[in-house]
Amino acid sequence: MTFEIVVMWVALTFYAAATAMYAFGVTFSKDTLTKWALAVSAAGLGFQMVSLGIRWARVGHGPYLGFYEVANALVLCVVAFFVIVGWRNPRLSATGIAVMPIAVLLLGGSMLASKSGIAITAKLASYWLFVHVAFANLAFAAFAVSFGCAVVYVVRQRSASGKWAKRFEKLPAQDVLENLMVRFVLVGFFFWAIMIATGAIWANEAWGNYWTWDPIETWSLIVWLIYAVFLHVRFTLKWHGERLAWFAIVAMPLALFALIGIPLAFNTTHAGIGGLGKDL
């Protein structure tokens, strides 16, 4: 086992520890444990950045290719986004009970995949690929944090005067939490649009077509339209409360499926993500 992989296992251990700390801290109303969980998440983020930095230097490109790299990049952005949000507003730290399990499952899954480096080809050696992947990761990170806010909103809403309401009492009020959920969706929505646009530019540069209705292109558009509907029902139809939160909860796994599941399940020109399909 190489040093790079050992460091990544350390990062995963820190993320798992943070997840457990959030679970115990929130369940048993241990505020100190919840605060420390954010610091443990940040420590895991540091180890993950070191491991990916070593890999970048070794293979000669960023974490763009292969399930291992792509899942790692998604986790990195999710945790970084969450840590920044939790650091700037400590009252939101408890949402880690929903966000950090995403990081653990994704990174854990990537550790079971092939870790061999994939050489970057002429079609992939493009500035637009870097921008395309970066905004895909940032968009998913925003959707993941909105998911965390939505989960906490629903749990607290269904226990307005019960134990869980007390456990989440230090979070912002429900209307503030809902507003944050919507804002994170809005950020993710714009980043996802940039991902689609830059992907089309890269596709034209690599294959001579802006859009070919490739499965991942189609699903990316579907996810963008789903979040467009979310924003429509929020701002035009004035949806509020639990049904809006459930919308955000259901939408996030679809975004993850578009980024990770489609390249694994379909024959797609984005084969480098999952190692299946056409040769990039």
Question: Across the chain, what does the average pLDDT equal?
Answer: 89
End-to-end CA distance of the chain: 28
Residue type, 219: W
How large is the angle between the packed helices 3-27 and 96-111, nearest 10 degrees? 150
Q: Are 104 and 72 in contact (CB under 8 A)?
A: no
Query: Running along the chain, 280 residues long, what does each successive block of 10 average in pLDDT?
Result: 93 97 88 92 98 92 87 96 94 92 95 84 78 94 96 85 70 90 97 95 85 89 97 95 95 93 74 47
Per-domain residue ranges of the chain: 1-114, 121-270
- Its pTM stands at 0.90
pLDDT digits (tens, 9 = 90+) for 132-141: 999 999 999 9
Q: How many helices and strands in the chain, by DSSP H and E?
A: 11, 0
For 45-49, which contacts have Cβ atoms below 8 Å and span 24 or more sequence positions? 45/11, 45/76, 45/79, 45/80, 45/83, 47/7, 47/8, 47/10, 47/11, 47/14, 48/7, 48/8, 48/11, 48/72, 48/75, 48/76, 48/79, 48/107, 49/76
Nearest alpha carbon to residue 266 among 203, 206, 220 = 220
